Amino acid sequence: MFEEIGTNAEGDMMINMGPQHPATHGVLHLVITLNGETIKKVDPHLGYIHRSIEKMCESLTYRQFIYVTSRMDYLSAHINNHACAMCVEKGMQIEVPGRAQYIRVIMDELTRIASHELWWGAMSMDLGAFTPFFHSFRERETINDIMEETCGARLTMNYMVPGGVMNDIHPNFQRRVKEFIQLYKRKIHEYDELITGNVIFQNRMKGVGVLTAEQVISYGCTGPVARGSGVSCDVRKWWPYEVYDKVEFNEVIETGGDSFARYLIRMKEMDQSIRIIEQLIDNIPDGDFQAKTKAVLKLPKGEFYSKVETARGELGVYIVSEGGTTPYRIKFRSPGFSNLSILHDMAKGGKIGDLIASMGTLDLVIPDIDR
């Protein structure tokens, strides 16, 4: 790997970006072939944060393996846990109580807003604007406080368990979520003032990193990356789970395909998440927060698959069970891996400065890609 660095036979420069580069948000290693300032090839090297989570899960029981998945896509930890819990419930044929379904969806949407807010701050910092980072973390802090009060942790919650949620919501939960919605509506215009309308930002985003719908489909991209190119792929709309078929929201689609389209999608998705929470927060039904389950879960022999929409795209959980207390094989279909593989097609022919901007809009989380 390292002998590649330097100059190749055609006289092109090859440089390393990462694995300790601030703009790759983790330990992603890109080997970039450059002709002057023009990118000829981007070669991602993975494996720096591989923890063999799939193999680890094979030795853990169906209750225990869920906490590990918080460490995959740590910014949407709730949604990862949700996918795993749903897959186990599918195998055990557990009916989740209505209260738990409502709490799960509210938590998922809060996580999505927190994730998009962190992405907004981090991407702006990649482009050289430092102030937005503090603005987005101010609102994200409120969500983290809500999570901390109900789940007991700020990032790796382990709140979803097979059959429902671990604890009932905190008595303050509904009040604080409503306060957060008010705060969000008061502050969201600052995001547009600071960044969206800014001329430097627009010139760096518009027409950069263009992806066509065919490219996006052939690489299996999902989430905001696919929807930015006009591909409708929202799991919440197409294969609704929990109470997503009861709430009204729009699947945000842009047809530009450039970095600015992907940026706008995430900004509008936050508004849609707020809309979902507003519909649910006052109507949480009474009842159990957890279904009665056996102390030891044993999935019947067979194969089970469930998928959810995380903040980055479609996360699939595939469990092969031999009938025991631990899974025989677990496979996670992570959105980040597909979104990263399109990076070469996206950056080829562009300038190296634009690579940072377009990679920022892919919203990569490296532990999700390596697992």
Partner 1 sequence: MFITKYIKDVFGALKSLGVGMKRTLYYFTHHKEIITEQYPDNRETMHLPERFKGEVVMPHDEKNEHRCTGCTACELACPNGTIKVVTKFEITPEGKKKKAIDKLVYHLELCTMCNLCIVACPSDAIKMAQTFEHSVYDRNELTKILNNPGSKIMDGVE
Identify residues 114-133 at the interface with partner 1 (CB under 8 A): 131
**49, 153, 181, 264: residue in contact with partner 1 (rule CB under 8 A):** 153
Whether the CA torsion 22, 28, 29, 35 is positive or negative: it is negative
Q: Determine, following the binding rule CB under 8 A, whether residue 176 of this chain makes contact with partner 1.
A: no
Instruction: Pick the piece of the chain touching partner 1 (CB under 8 A) from 16-24, 30-38, 63-71, 228-236.
Output: 63-71
Structure tokens at 309: 């929409």
CA distances from 339 to 71, 74, 173, 312, 326 (A): 19, 17, 34, 9, 31
- Give the shortest CB-158-to-partner 1 separation in angstroms: 5
- Give the shortest CB-219-to-partner 1 separation in angstroms: 34
**150, 229, 334, 339: residue in contact with partner 1 (rule CB under 8 A):** 150
CA distances from 100 to 111, 194, 215, 232, 292 (A): 16, 38, 39, 28, 12
In the complex with partner 1, the residue whose CB is nearer, 2 or 134, is: 134
Instruction: Pick the piece of the chain touching partner 1 (CB under 8 A) from 42-50, 190-198, 333-341, 362-370.
Output: 190-198
Residue 29: which of 364, 259, 362 has the closest Cα? 364
- Round to whole Å and give the CA distance between 318 and 36: 45
In the complex with partner 1, the residue whose CB is nearer, 101 or 158, is: 158
Helix (H) or strand (E) holding 307: strand 302-309
Based on C-alpha coordinates, what's the Rg of the chain?
21
In the complex with partner 1, the residue whose CB is nearer, 71 or 116, is: 71
Per DSSP bridges, beta strands 38-45 and 160-161 are: unpaired
CA distances from 71 to 65, 79, 194, 197, 229 (A): 11, 12, 32, 35, 29
Q: Determine, following the binding rule CB under 8 A, whether residue 54 of this chain makes contact with partner 1.
A: no
- Round to whole Å and give the CA distance between 24 and 352: 14
Q: Determine, following the binding rule CB under 8 A, whether residue 264 of this chain makes contact with partner 1.
A: no
- Give the shortest CB-181-to-partner 1 separation in angstroms: 18
**24, 28, 65, 114: residue in contact with partner 1 (rule CB under 8 A):** 65
Instruction: Pick the piece of the chain touching partner 1 (CB under 8 A) from 154-162, 209-217, 232-240, 330-338.
Output: 154-162
> Which residue matches tokens 């671990």?
166
Q: Determine, following the binding rule CB under 8 A, whether residue 60 of this chain makes contact with partner 1.
A: yes
Kindly write down the DSSP assignment for every residue of 13-71, as one continuous string. Answer: EEEEE-SS-GGGTSS-EEEEEEETTEEEEEEEE--TT---HHHHHTTS-TTTTHHHHTT
Q: Determine, following the binding rule CB under 8 A, whether residue 267 of this chain makes contact with partner 1.
A: no
- Give the shortest CB-132-to-partner 1 separation in angstroms: 9
**14, 41, 133, 167: residue in contact with partner 1 (rule CB under 8 A):** 167
- Give the shortest CB-147-to-partner 1 separation in angstroms: 10
In the complex with partner 1, the residue whose CB is nearer, 64 or 215, is: 64
- Give the shortest CB-357-to-partner 1 separation in angstroms: 18
> Which residue matches tokens 């969206």?
196
Q: Determine, following the binding rule CB under 8 A, whether residue 141 of this chain makes contact with partner 1.
A: yes
Supply φ then ψ for residue 293, to 5 degrees: -125, 165
In the complex with partner 1, the residue whose CB is nearer, 166 or 352, is: 166
Binding residues (CB under 8 A) for partner 1: these are 60, 63-65, 67-68, 131, 138, 141, 148-153, 156, 158, 161, 166-167, 170, 190, 193-195, 197-200
